[in-house]
Amino acid sequence: MKVVAISGGIGGAKLALGLDRVLPPGALTVIANTGDDFHHLDLHVSPDIDTLLYTLAGLDDPVRGWGRKDETWTFMQALEQLGGETWFRLGDGDLATHVERTRLLGAGASLSAVTAELARRLGLASAIVPMSDQPVRTRVETDEGWLDFQHYFVRRQCQPRVLGLAFEGAAAARPAEAALEALADPALAAVVICPSNPYLSVDPILAVPGLRTAIEASRAPVIAVSPVIGGQAVKGPTVKMMGELGLDPSAATVAAHYRGLADIFVLDETDAGLDIGAGLERAVAPTLMRTLEDKTRLARFVLERAGKTP
Amino acid sequence: MKVVAISGGIGGAKLALGLDRVLPPGALTVIANTGDDFHHLDLHVSPDIDTLLYTLAGLDDPVRGWGRKDETWTFMQALEQLGGETWFRLGDGDLATHVERTRLLGAGASLSAVTAELARRLGLASAIVPMSDQPVRTRVETDEGWLDFQHYFVRRQCQPRVLGLAFEGAAAARPAEAALEALADPALAAVVICPSNPYLSVDPILAVPGLRTAIEASRAPVIAVSPVIGGQAVKGPTVKMMGELGLDPSAATVAAHYRGLADIFVLDETDAGLDIGAGLERAVAPTLMRTLEDKTRLARFVLERAGKTP
């Protein structure tokens, strides 16, 4: 029995962790968004892959909510002293991932191979696969003009009004081989779309030609979990952005976004009464994941609804 | 009144600091060895330049003797976890220098320009100038074959027996413009060859075509300070290497090495009775520099003997 999860960073990684813990070792493949990747200080930074790596390795910082636990910040202090760019905070331990990834990519390895190697080094049982080995860059059209994703997200703290999104390079990108293999696996029991931002984290993955088709072609049920609970996002700019894009900020809007792709849509209990329209089987569960138990409980629920009891 | 110092890392930087402290701001230019530079983890590391930067900025670690004070090592721990190369220890704060230098070089800046910018950011009054903007790499012929300098020095801890030295790229290198300008300055009052390893730290500088000639062409006195005291090196492999190269490990051998280039040779009081032969004016002083006072006292002595009282 195999499971594929489609995930962005923080929110998605929570459910990915739940799945990782309840599934047998080796059963889970997480296809990660790389639209947030960027070059910073000449380093290749892959924020969503790293969040997944750290979360599944138990190295994530539970208090800060991003990056590594037991982190130090001496590099940033020294960089500030040297007048370097400090708007994107890189922890000292986190930096090792970026330096090692950049070195391996520079030596000719693919992002898939580098990610697999990092996962192996961190002792992960699950596979983490970038959506593509080619660069796809999420760009945000705002009232201040087009911004690179991290400039919008971190540097400008999601303050500009969003007018539209583009996934630069997506048309020319190919899905990572391991992503296609996981989706074509005859043992595939479920495709889980994690509660990540549908527009910023999941859409870049679906924009890689062939990935959406591969999900649709799979006979496994596709089950999506709403990142919107009671009209609020657990974290991040999802709801603010939905409003700016003229969308009703509700789980029903997310459901509509996944119609045609997902078979089952998981709403939070808060939204139990919400009409999500036809064409999607509805499921209701507590979806707020604070503890590891929350995560494994939701993972079990999702797998059960997909018809597979782990 | 201007002064040029010729320096490698730790030992030379001590006297450079003394000169920096006793001379008026802007009077000192240190021409630094870059033969120890290397690419590591895809970063451009310039150990001698950095030792000079940190020492003159008061950021050096007085206990460890290299790198930055108040350093942390989270990067190295995380890199080890990821299976990266950890034989060359990079502190978290030190890493900022390498990342920023690599970024600026990648953007097309010369090593001279990058070094000047780093010095400016650290508030240095003196100029630090690499011997060349072109790569010159010290290679060590040993009983284990030819080794890159850092592999000999750090990875193999100077254990292999040295048979010879080569400065790869030196023939094609040009002196850094600022080095030539400093040596041609009509206000130049002294050229100080700091107590660095003559073979590993000073020779690479002299191997850059035009630099030795520019020193000789200067009308300022050239005064060299012995790094060997009573047949011992204060630090590093100088004496071990001299023995392996068939040289008598004494300050007299160093004096002979600088004959024709230096006008004055400073011996430690321990070596007051040593015969250094003809053609070099001898000077005797306490040359062991433990405290800042030791460093400024030796700097004043050197400048006085060069005929210039600061």
CA nearest A120 in B: which residue?
Answer: B82
pLDDT mean over A47-74: 95
pLDDT, chain B, mean: 95
State residue A62's pLDDT score: 85
Give the model's pLDDT for residue B65: 83
H or E element, residue B97 = helix B92-106
Tell me the percentage of chain B whose pLDDT exceeds 70.
99
Each residue's pLDDT tens digit, A173-216: 999 999 999 999 999 999 999 999 999 999 999 999 999 999 99
Question: Is residue B104 exposed (0-12), middle (13-18) or buried (19+ Cβ within 10 Å)?
Answer: buried
For residues B288 and A148, give the distance between their C-alpha atoms in angstroms, rounded to a whole number: 55
Nearest to B83 among A79, A82, A121 (CB): A121
Whether B309 has a pLDDT exceeding 60, the answer reads no
Does domain B2-40+111-305 sit in CATH 3.40.50.10680?
A: yes
- Residue A96 with chain B: CB contacts under 8 Å: 75-76, 78-79, 81-82, 84
Q: Can you tell me the distance from the alpha carbon of A86 to that of B310, in angstroms, rounded to the nearest whole number?
A: 41
The pLDDT of residue B310: 47
Mean pLDDT score, B268-287: 95
Our CA-based measurement puts residue A103 at a distance from the nearest CA of chain B, in whole angstroms, of 6
Report, as an integer, the average pLDDT of A269-287: 94
pLDDT, average across residues B237-264: 95
How much is the pLDDT for B308?
Answer: 59
| pLDDT of A309 higher than 60 | no
CB contact under 8 A, B75 and A95: yes
Based on the number of CB atoms within 10 Å of its own CB, is A272 exposed (0-12), middle (13-18) or buried (19 or more)? exposed
Interchain CB contact of B75 with A (< 8 Å): yes
Could you give the CA distance from residue A306 to residue A192 in angstroms, rounded to a whole number?
Answer: 9
Which residue in the set A75, A106, A122 is minimally distant from B75, CB to CB? Answer: A75
Q: What region, left, alpha or beta, does residue B269 occupy, with left being phi > 0 and alpha being psi -120 to 50 degrees?
A: alpha
Q: Distance between CA atoms of A228 and A238, rounded to whole angstroms?
A: 8
Of B41, B81, B96, the CB nearest to A75: B96
Residue A181's contacts (CB-CB under 8 Å, 6 or more residues apart) are none
**Residue B271 Cα distances to A171, A285, B222, B231, angstroms:** 75, 85, 20, 9
B109 contacts chain A (CB < 8 A) = no
User: Any CB–CB contact under 8 A between A232 and chain B?
Assistant: no
Contact of A84 with chain B, judged by CB distance below 8 Å, is answered with: yes
- Give the integer Cα–Cα distance in Å for B56 and B50: 10
Is the pLDDT at A217 greater than 90? The verdict is yes
Distance from CA of A211 to the nearest CA of B (A): 30
Residue A125 has pLDDT above 50, yes or no: yes
Task: Tell me whether residues B84 and A99 touch, CB distance under 8 A.
Answer: yes
Put simply, whether B70 touches A (Cβ < 8 Å) is yes
Contact A99 B41 (CB under 8 A): yes
Pick the residue from chain A with its C-alpha nearest to B93: A75
Amino acid (1-letter code) at residue A54: Y
Contact A195, A5 (CB under 8 A): no
Which residues touch B155 (CB under 8 Å, ≥6 apart)?
A: B87, B88
For A143-229, list the strands marked E by DSSP. 145-148, 162-168, 188-193, 222-225, 228-229
Chain A residue with minimum CA distance to B117: A82
pLDDT of residue A189: 96
To the nearest whole angstrom, how far is the Cα of B39 from the nearest Cα of chain A? 11
Average pLDDT, chain A: 95
- State how far residue A109 is from chain B, nearest Cα, in angstroms: 14
CA-wise closest residue to A31 among A19, A41, A43: A19
Q: Alpha-carbon distance A259 to A224, whole Å?
A: 10
Residue A166 burial class via C-beta count within 10 angstroms: exposed 0-12, middle 13-18, buried 19 and up: middle
Please state, in angstroms and rounded to a whole number, the distance separating the CA atoms of residues B205 and A34: 46
Domain A2-43+112-305 has CATH 3.30.70.260: no
> Is pLDDT of B247 > 60?
yes
Q: Which residue has the higher pLDDT, B309 or A150?
A: A150
> What is the pLDDT confidence band of residue B235, given thresholds at 50, 70 and 90?
confident
| pLDDT tier at B120, thresholds 50, 70, 90 | very high
Strand partners, B99: none
Cβ-Cβ contacts under 8 Å, B92 against chain A: 72, 74-75, 78, 92, 95
**For chain B, how long is the longest CA-to-CA vector?**
58
Cα separation, B52 vs A165, in Å, equals 48
pLDDT digits (tens, 9 = 90+) for B58-107: 999 988 888 999 999 999 999 999 999 999 999 999 999 999 999 999 99
B77 to chain A, any CB pair closer than 8 A? The answer is yes
Q: What is the mean pLDDT of residues A216-227?
A: 96
- Establish if B105 touches chain A: CB-CB under 8 angstroms: no
Say if the Cβ atoms of A75 and B78 lie within 8 Å: no
Tell whether the model's pLDDT for residue B285 goes beyond 60.
yes
| Beta carbon pairs, A and B, within 8 Å | 101
Interchain pair B93, A78: CB under 8 A: yes
- Region B132-153: mean pLDDT is 96
Task: Give residue A308's pLDDT.
Answer: 59
**Which three-class secondary structure state does DSSP give residue A1?**
coil
- Percent of the residues in chain B that have a pLDDT greater than 90, as a whole number: 93
| Contact between A95 and B94 using a beta-carbon 8 Å cutoff | no
Handedness of CA A135, A139, A145, A147 (dihedral sign): negative
pLDDT of residue A235: 80
B187-213 pLDDT, tens digit per residue, is 999 999 999 999 999 999 999 999 999
Q: Other CB atoms closer than 10 Å to residue B143's CB: what's the count? A: 10
